[in-house]
Homo-oligomer: A and B are copies of this chain.
């Protein structure tokens, strides 16, 4: 029985390897964060040698960007699950949509860490900022569609819709951050309820959105 001491080399096609590297990097991000991300750590996590990184990627910068692109997709898809369960009223759908981002699975520290690190990394790398904007824009579009569905027949001014979208997007991000900070379920509950309240309130008026006047 020939027992080779060396572990067998497993050959993969280029694209597969790239995918493995990116996935490994993503797991590193989840486990130890952006600050501790390094080429060697990624290679270890993927079970491959350091050289592969320079073989398949031009830069660490490229690895980083592609990893965050992958992360963005993951994060976005995670919020989309269970959305098409049963046909419901537009308002109920919006409610489910908002709740989905705050299910127990999704509030796991891993996810939020990656998301917040993504914000931070976007400060330094313009390409990552672009990826982040893309993720954000997709989510925003989705939200806008749902709010328009809630509006339905009522003639809600476009400016009112925009106000709701802008505000709720901000509130959601803020709630994630707050959860990471304090882990208060009540605060999340409050934020989501208030968002629904705001929608109902604005919808109940046909006049343009009120600007606060002192």
Q: B-facing mask of A165-185, CB < 8 A → 1, else 0? A: 011011111110110111010
Interface of A is mostly: helix
For A179, the closest partner residue in chain B by CB is: B170
CA distance A129 to B212 in the complex (A): 35
Additional A-B contacts beyond A170-B171, A197-B202 (13; CB < 8 A): A34-B120, A95-B212, A116-B120, A119-B120, A120-B120, A162-B186, A166-B178, A166-B184, A166-B190, A170-B191, A173-B174, A174-B174, A197-B212
> Which 9 pairs across A and B sit closest by C-beta, in order of nearness?
A170-B174, A120-B120, A174-B174, A167-B194, A173-B174, A166-B190, A163-B190, A166-B187, A196-B212
11 of the cross-chain contacts (CB-CB < 8 Å) are A33-B123, A129-B181, A132-B181, A136-B181, A167-B195, A170-B175, A170-B187, A173-B178, A192-B212, A194-B202, A194-B209
